[in-house]
């Protein structure tokens, strides 16, 4: 994830809407490969770890630039963000009437508040 974590998160809803078939395929394949013995388990586990690492690094960059609070663990916050994304994939596939843009905007605003530096 290049650029600001919040800006990138706000763009994800568009990606969902552009490729619902791919979102569905990914979700089904991932779910079918949760068992460690499943043929694609390691692939999906690696993809998850890569996603967490990318978001962690984005948060860490924001912290180093002085844009985000330094007192939170970027890896923990990254796991939360990825969990939100995976959960929204499943929720939206189950109910495509979800106001995806509004939900993502709301989560992005909430995340921005959580990451923001405390006012002086």
Query: Can you give the residue ranges of every domain in the chain?
Result: 5-115
In which residue ranges of the chain is pLDDT below 70?
1-3, 119-120
What per-residue confidence (pLDDT) applies to 10? 85
- CA-to-CA distance for 91 and 15, rounded, in angstroms? 15
Q: Looking at the structure, give the CATH architecture of the domain made up of residues 5-115.
A: Orthogonal Bundle (1.10)
What per-residue confidence (pLDDT) applies to 95? 96
- Bridge-partner residues for 68, per DSSP? 116
What per-residue confidence (pLDDT) applies to 119? 61
Q: Give the pTM.
A: 0.90
Whether 52 contacts 73, CB under 8 Å: no
């Amino acid at each position: 994830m290049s650029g600001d974590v919040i800006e990138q998160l706000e763009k994800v809803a568009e990606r969902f809407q552009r490729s619902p078939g791919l979102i569905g395929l990914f979700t089904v394949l991932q779910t079918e490969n949760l068992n460690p013995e499943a043929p694609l388990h390691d692939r999906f586990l690696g993809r998850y770890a890569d996603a967490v690492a990318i978001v962690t690094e984005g948060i860490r960059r924001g912290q180093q630039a002085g844009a985000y609070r330094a007192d939170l663990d970027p890896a923990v916050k990254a796991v939360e963000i990825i969990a939100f994304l995976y959960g929204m994939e499943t929720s939206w596939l189950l109910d495509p009437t979800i106001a995806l843009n509004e939900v993502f905007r709301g989560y992005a605003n909430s995340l921005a508040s959580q990451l923001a530096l405390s006012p002086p």
